[in-house]
Chains A and B, each alone.
Chain A
Amino acid sequence: MNSLFEYLLRLGDDSLIIGHRLSEWCGHGPILEEDIAMTNLSLDFIGQATSIYKYAGEVEDKGRSADDLAFLRFDREYKNLILLEQPNGDFGMTMMKQFLFDSYRKPLFERLIHSSDDMIAAIAAKSLKETKYHLKHSSEWIIRLGDGTEESRNRVQDSLDTLWRYTSELFFEDSVDEELKSSGIVPSMDGIKKDWSSYVGEILNRATLTIPINNWEQEGGRKGMHSEHLGYILTELQYMQRAYPGMEW
């Protein structure tokens, strides 16, 4: 197995799948301003996915384009976090998912900009700028909703309770990471997890929310074992490419 290729798929699929979920909001946001904001997030993620897949295709060296990788793999070949494929739910659920993910992505990219792989470092540098804004946006919303009305607090606490079980997977590591760590391409998850925990704790505290305990932790996405939701995402995502194979659009 080509570890670098595998790692890039994990990185790219995260961006693609969360970008896809965010794009489902377009036209349905709670207010126009936020509709526009969520589409900006989505566009950033689609852009990230495009550059990561492009590089993954080059690394794999089998002539696959970014689109081939995005649209023409089967369910078990997608390596995104299970967290990201979860349905949008209400706006609070979407922002909670975003917040938990952004809080992980920022320390990750802060380290990846020092990657010994120049291309990864460059992608991380661009993505980091975007991620900082995403995190600011989602953190502020978590605080507003948590410390807003009784209804909003209940809703967003429920979302946290639902999504928390998917957060251990953020720090998943296997032989792919081990190999790339040894050559200085990717960082260790230890520091990222520490940063994540302290930041998430601080914001949830300000939002007057309680971190749930005793949740059974869900993992598998990194190895291609997903929840039932991914299949439906792919059904829409791949519809055109599957129905009209090999055509230019």
Chain B
Amino acid sequence: MNTEMICRVEDLGLVDYEDAWACQKVQVDRVRAGGRPVLLLCEHPAVITLGRLAQEKNILVSRETLEHNGVQVVAVDRGGDVTLHAPGQLVVYPILPLAYWKKDLHWYLAQLEQVAIDLLKSFGIVANRISGKTGVWADNLKIASIGIGVRQWVSYHGVGINVDMDMELFDLINPCGLDARMTSMARVKGVTVEMRDVKECLVKCFHRQFNLPMIYAPVQL
């Protein structure tokens, strides 16, 4: 392995969607210029994002209702339909030079699914894939959502894992346009799940799946 291929991990904490999106773009340019891969971890205040294939009808309430509930709506440059982020959902944005591993979008999506499956297994949750529906499912309920962007084979956007969050927020949308019902780690386990523990485990699972040394280091927003 190239000794320079070390992944920097940065925990952005609770951060506005658009600030994290701007941060990702800066990191993509750095990685394209030969910089180290970066794994951004964060949570977002409640926000609905529309991927490139999003249909407005998958937002089930009026914009006024969303505004009243303090939920932003942002159109973004990732694949997929409508999704929702909120505090208590771990959002993971890997900025990786995919050519180092494989120039294959399906391979990368499957890698991300596997990281989420391994993470959930560590918490005693059996999760799996459903053929033709990208994401990770526990008892046919969606527990992790995936949508990515790629520029010059450098990845951005990523995975949202429902850790311990207000699940009623998902009533605002038809997640991914799939009529899927959602769940969370806390709901499956029936107990509170600490975000800090999930983040720590995620970094380990990511390290194993991508065979990539990880260091915690700050990046500039």
Asked if chains A and B come from one complex, the reply is no
Report which B residues bind A (CB closer than 8 A).
Answer: none
Report which A residues bind B (CB closer than 8 A).
Answer: none
